[in-house]
Structure 1
Amino acid sequence: MNTSTCATTSPMVLTRRRINLVFCALAAAMLLASLDQTIVSTAMPTIVGDLGGISHMAWVTTAYLLASTLVMPVYGKFGDLWGRRTLFLGAVALFTLASAGLALADGFTAFVFWRGVQGLGGGGMMVLSQAIVADVVPARERGKYMGPLGAIFGLSAVAGPLIGGYFTDHAGLGWRWCFWINVPVGVAALLIGCVALSLPRRRSTARLDLAGIATLSLLTTSLILGTEAGSSRGWGSWPALALLGAFAVCTVGFVLVERTAQEPIVPLGLFRNRNFVLATALSALVGMGLLTPVVFMPTFLQMASGTSAAGSGLLMLPMTAGLFLTLIGSGIVVARTGRCTVFPVAGVLTIAAAVGWMTTLSATTALWVVGAMLFVAGLGLGLIMQIVVLIAQNAVGPQVLGAATATTAYVREVGATVGIAVGGAVFASALAGNLAGALAAHTPQALEAGITSADRLVPEAVHAAAEPLHGALVGAYADALAPLFGWLLPVLAVAVVLALLLKEVPLSEVAGMVARGEAVLEGDVPSPALSGARPEPAPQPSRR
């Protein structure tokens, strides 16, 4: 039961100008979040080396993903109850504040902490932006907006690594400017949002689902940390068994709590819809199967291929090109035909081909071959990234758009976090052993080069090392990373099966705010000279 009501006295008029202003605010926030992620991926080897955290490198990404995952369902449900404007602006402000904290971090622990705080804001920006688009744009027309959003994502994918590489490679600036640059961008996004993000407010008398929030947070944390412990210490170790046991208990408790909650954080009724379940599960598997190579590829390019941070950023350009092509193309086709289930199948198959190709990476792989691998991966990502969200949103009623969007994003991020935690732990463990062996075999030369600890090894030290030490260090990275991609293939095989089971359902032609009676389209407003009556809200589409 939804007990929220719109706080405005009459429905808002959705003009094309208003929709475009809302879209500008969302685009500014997306630029902020996506730029940060791509900058960090390029600068990460230098950051962890400078702060003494190479053996714990995975935590830089895991902390952000864990924090953002925890708050996604909360943002989604609260947006359904109270409106999304204030929550969205608060998320942008929190993200910006955390960026300043990262720039000032004086140790690896502080850095990981602020990455977590940044995730608290980033999770809200991601979920609320997708839900707001669904509020103002019908599902049938939403494909028209995938191109511009994809262009922003593509711009960040190119500009982020270049900016991060430039800062990292120039000692006069340093990697801390990778985060300082977020502050003015964040302030600009906040100002644009305050002016342009005109959305209705809602009032709700519902009791907050505090028990649901608590149990969901506990089960998510125990799952991620249990996966990390199992990967690093062994699945039979007591920390792994205790945490995974806690995950099982918390999952049962969460389901019981949500069945009786007045306004559950995750409405269990969503999972009675076939397309919603399939799209959500597909998001998790693709997040697990593709985000891992995206996160660790710059490390390979810098260490194994001897490429600078700026160079590794340029080498991510082919992936952006592939993403841009299929994201725009699929959006145009969906808008014209109203059909979308073919794209997840093609996308997963393309991603699987790219990941399988990446298992052949070695220290001698030509850079043009690496670029071709990334181009194929980008093609697959563009075919599926927005489509699965569209399918999930189209499967539910307008009153639970935020909760449905947040649940899909939450499950995707859980998959990505588990994948990165397992992949990062496997990579770090193999890398630590390989580097220890390489340094032990060339101890005199390593000492002469000033390399005393594998945990503080930065790309510059690898580049400066002479043979045979240089070759041994490069081989250590290559031998640790390339086999990591092999375990992703079974995951993607399951994703193909799920994509084939999706049912083609007609896309809704009514925006979420119109369906809820909070807005009317510009052409549907009666002239005051002809009628003094308030405009009637558009009827809600039936649940599919």
Structure 2
Amino acid sequence: MTVGALNQTVVTTALPRIASDLGGLENMSWVFTSFMVTSAATLPIFGKLSDTHGRKRFFVGGIVVLLIGSVLAGMSQSVTQLAIYRGVQGVGSAALLANSMAIVGELFPPSQLGKWRAINQAVMTLAAAAGPLAGGFISDHLSWQWVFYLNVPVGIVAIVVAVLVMPPFRNRNIQHRVDYLGSAMLLATISPLLVGFAWAGQQYDWLSWQVLGAFGTSAISLVVFILVERRAEEPILPMTMFRNSIFSVSSMAFFLIGMGLFGSLVYLPLFAQAVQGKSATISGLLLTPMMLASFATGFIGGHILTKWGRYRLLAFFCTGTASLGMFLLSRLGIDSTSQAMALDMAIVGIGIGIAMPLFVIVVQNAFPQKMVGVAVTSTAFVRSLGASIGVALMGTVVNKQFVSGLQSGVPDSARQAVAQAGVVLPTTPQPLLDPAVMSSLEAALAPSGPEVFEQVATAMQMSLVSAIDAAFLLSAVALAFACFFTLFLKEIPLRSTR
């Protein structure tokens, strides 16, 4: 879990520097989207395979694939290569996440899972908190390649410990059949869906044949997938689970949490570095309050759930708190202090720290022990799916808002001077991350007077602030809807047996 959590967050603060170095800030969302596509599409598959063949081999195998992807990512020469290798990392992360969650569920009954999931969440949170700071420090003092190479020593230690200590977690008295056709159709459904969202509004218009074709392919594959799953002896994603209202409500809430949380937080380091001129290390510190708050409330929420045994009020509280934090972040301005940002991030962390383990426990409690693998990985699947769509949507929002804001934010007199100098206004925030580009822009506009460059630079910063604020506001709305859905969450006693 440490390897997986570290891998997800260590790149966050380094990504603006990476994208600027590789010349592809406008495609920054692809580095996240590719990871999320492969992770979301393969999570249910690894959950089912581990039910069939044992969890240990897929747990260890997931770490190995993750490390291979990390080495390849560090060797990337372009954003395209980096996105591909991040996809490899996503496959390894899916195997790791699916089995780590199921292993905890194998060991303890739902009535005791609160405190153990809290410990599990605490380990992930500490690793996730260290990730942004480590990524920023490495970017500032070494090179961004080491952001990915950092996974290797940690992963090797995890492999050795797992091989020596972990039991196989396999019931040899039960024979399973793997739904290979269903697995293939799930991949055929999810992949074009997420690619379509990543394309829409960025590479292509929403109504372009490329985007509509991707969505259409996904829709057709979904119909075929449902038909296949209804006939499968052991489906990869049983359709009967959606008849369970607890699973349906929890899945919808988890989907919106993934969309609201991961879809916007990738842009906070960009705000710190491009708008406020902070280093990658300092931008990593900005995410630490959220992680530490998540760590603390994960423990507290887990113990409350274990003692109280009721979860609907906790679900309402944590999603509502996270939504409030996101709304406060949507009010960031160019002069916002680090202290104000830290407080807002901590409020988000308070909600997320409780929500992440809570909904997993709720879903596991709603199904018998023999379905723990597919039930737990299905919740992770919908969260990853929401995160993937969220990253793509937020990327579209940020890019569109930046361009429109810059066009309207540059005064007419400065616009005329820019045209006379033969300068084209940027269509991405990338120049704000590159001092050499900004120096060239200043030199090109120098004959028109220093005030012209200052007006253009200020308009670029203000446009980016407005764009990122719009992404945070959209995230707040998504989390508010998650809060609303928790009102319909059916409450049943937590089982005291496995």
TM-score of the alignment, normalized to the shorter chain, above 0.5:
yes
Q: Distance in 2 between the 1:309 and 1:294 partners?
A: 15
Secondary structure of 2:200's partner? helix
Comparing 335-344 and 80-89, the one that deviates more? 335-344
| Per-residue deviation, residues 199-240 of structure 1 (Å, max 9, x unmatched) | 343456544322111111111012112223333333322222
Distance in 2, matches of 1:504 and 1:347, equals 16
The within-5 A match list for 1:328-343 is: 328-343=299-314
Structure 1's 80 and 477: CA in aligned 2 closer, same or farther, altered over 3 A?
A: same
Matching residue within 347, 371, 391 for 1:400:
371
Aligned twin of 2:197:
227
User: Given the alignment, which residue of 461, 467, 471 partners 2:435?
Assistant: 461
Shift of 1:409: 1.1
- Work out whether residues 60 and 162 of structure 2, in 8 Å CA contact, stay in contact via their aligned partners in 1: yes
* TM-fit CA distance, 1:152: 2.1
Residue equivalent to 2:159? 190
SS at match of 1:264: coil
Q: Is the 8 A contact 1:45 1:459 kept in 2?
A: yes
TM-score (normalizing by structure 2): 0.90
Query: 1:378 and 1:398, CA in 2 relative to 1: closer, same or farther beyond 3 A?
Result: same
TM-align CA RMSD: 2.6
Q: Deviations over 1:147-192 (max 9, x none)?
A: 333332332233212211111112xx21101111111111111111
TM-fit CA distance, 1:79: 1.3
Asked if structure 2 preserves the Cα contact closer than 8 Å seen for 1:45 and 1:458, the reply is: no
2:95 is aligned to 124
1:447 is displaced (CA, Å) by: 11
Aligned counterpart in structure 1 of residue 229 of structure 2, from 254, 258, 269: 258
Matched, 1:497 2:484: yes
C-alpha deviation, 1:130, in angstroms:
0.7
* Kept in 2: contact 1:49–1:458 (CA 8 A): no
Q: Give the match's secondary structure for 2:34.
A: helix
State how far apart, in whole Å, the 2-side matches of 1:78 and 1:90 are: 12
1:46 lines up with 2:50 in the alignment: no
Is the contact between residue 356 and residue 485 of structure 1 (CA under 8 Å) also seen in structure 2? yes
C-alpha deviation, 1:412, in angstroms: 1.3
1:32–1:68 distance in 2 versus 1, CA, 3 Å: same
Residue 473 of structure 1: CA displacement?
3.6
- Cα deviation, 1:13-40, whole Å, max 9, x if unaligned, reads xxxxxxxxxxxxxxxxx11111122210
Secondary structure of 1:41's match?
A: coil
Deviation at 1:487, TM superposition (A): 2.6
Query: Any idea what the Cα deviations from partners look like across 1:232-289, whole Å, max 9, x if unmatched?
Result: 3333222222222222211111110001112110112212211111111111011111
Contact kept in structure 1, 2:264 and 2:394, CA below 8 Å: no
Question: Structure 1 length as normaliser, TM-score?
Answer: 0.82
Q: Which residue of 1 aligns with 2:463?
A: 476
Equivalent runs, 1:68-83 vs 2, <5 Å: 68-83=39-54
Aligned to 1:290: 261
- State the alpha-carbon separation in 1 of the partners of residues 129 and 379 from structure 2: 27
Structure 1 residue 374, shift from structure 2 partner? 0.5
Residues in 2 aligned to 1:103 and 1:504: alpha-carbon distance in whole angstroms: 46
SS of 1:105's equivalent? coil
Contact 1:462 1:474 in 2 (8 A): no
Match of 1:304 among 275, 299, 313: 275
> Which of 24, 36, 44 is 1:65 aligned to?
36
Distance in 1 separating the partners of 2:2 and 2:487: 33
State the distance in 2 between where 1:56 and 1:399 align: 42
Q: Do 1:80 and 1:402's aligned partners in 2 also have CA atoms closer than 8 Å?
A: yes
Q: Tell me which moved more, 337-346 or 370-379.
A: 337-346
Relative to its length, the structure with more helix (as a share) is: 2
Runs of 4+ residues deviating >6 angstroms = 435-442
Q: Residue in 2 aligned with 1:179?
A: 148
What is the percentage of aligned positions where both structures have the same residue? 32
- Go from structure 1 to structure 2 and tell me whether the alpha carbon gap of 1:47 and 1:257 turns closer, same or farther (over 3 Å shift): same
Aligned ranges 1:100-115 → 2 under 5 Å = 100-115=71-86
User: Any gaps of 5 or more consecutive residues in structure 1?
Assistant: 1-29, 512-544
Deviation of the 1:368 alpha carbon: 1.5
